[in-house]
């Protein structure tokens, strides 16, 4: 049986380009317990170099992806107010099918974001 995996990518809609160098954190949520699984960064294409949750670690359940957007935009030289309107973008989602590829992209600017289940 094929095991599932999780990928993501980030596009900076304020520049129309991939968000290279953005830190992303993945957490697993079980009831009230939240467990940190991994930190990674996007590459020049706005993607991670490998699945953020590879097949060998894949389990169905509830997860949180945390995109460190505020730090990314500051690194791009943007002057942002304190507190930032968007500092961490947290996407809470579920993985129900143990054999599927889940893709959770982020389209982000300093003042808005969008996500969807991609392919």
Q: Tell me: the pLDDT tens digits for 76-98?
A: 999 999 999 999 999 999 999 99
Task: Look up the domain containing 85 and give its range.
Answer: 5-108
| DSSP label of 119 | -
Return d(Cα 42, Cα 71) in angstroms, integer: 13
Return d(Cα 46, Cα 83) in angstroms, integer: 25
Q: What is the DSSP string of 52-82?
A: SB-GGG---EEEEEEE-HHHHHHHTT----S
Residue 116 lies in a domain: no
Q: Which domain CATH number covers 66?
A: 2.60.40.180
Residue 25 lies in a domain: yes
Residue 119 lies in a domain: no
Evaluate if residue 108 carries a pLDDT over 80: yes
Residues 104, 74, 36, CA angle at the centre, nearest 5°? 45
Residue 117 lies in a domain: no
Encoded tokens for 30: 């079980």
Structural domain total, the chain: 1
């Amino acid at each position: 049986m094929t095991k599932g995996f999780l990928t993501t990518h980030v596009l900076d809609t304020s520049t129309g380009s991939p968000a290279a160098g953005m830190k992303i954190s993945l957490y697993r949520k079980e009831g009230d317990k939240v467990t940190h699984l991994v930190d990674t960064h996007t590459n020049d294409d706005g993607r991670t170099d490998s699945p953020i949750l590879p097949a060998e670690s894949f389990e169905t359940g509830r997860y949180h992806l945390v995109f460190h957007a505020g730090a990314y935009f500051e690194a791009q030289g943007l002057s942002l107010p304190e507190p930032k309107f968007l500092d961490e973008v947290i996407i809470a989602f579920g993985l129900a099918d143990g054999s599927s590829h889940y893709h959770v992209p982020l389209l982000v600017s300093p003042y808005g974001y969008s996500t969807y289940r991609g392919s």
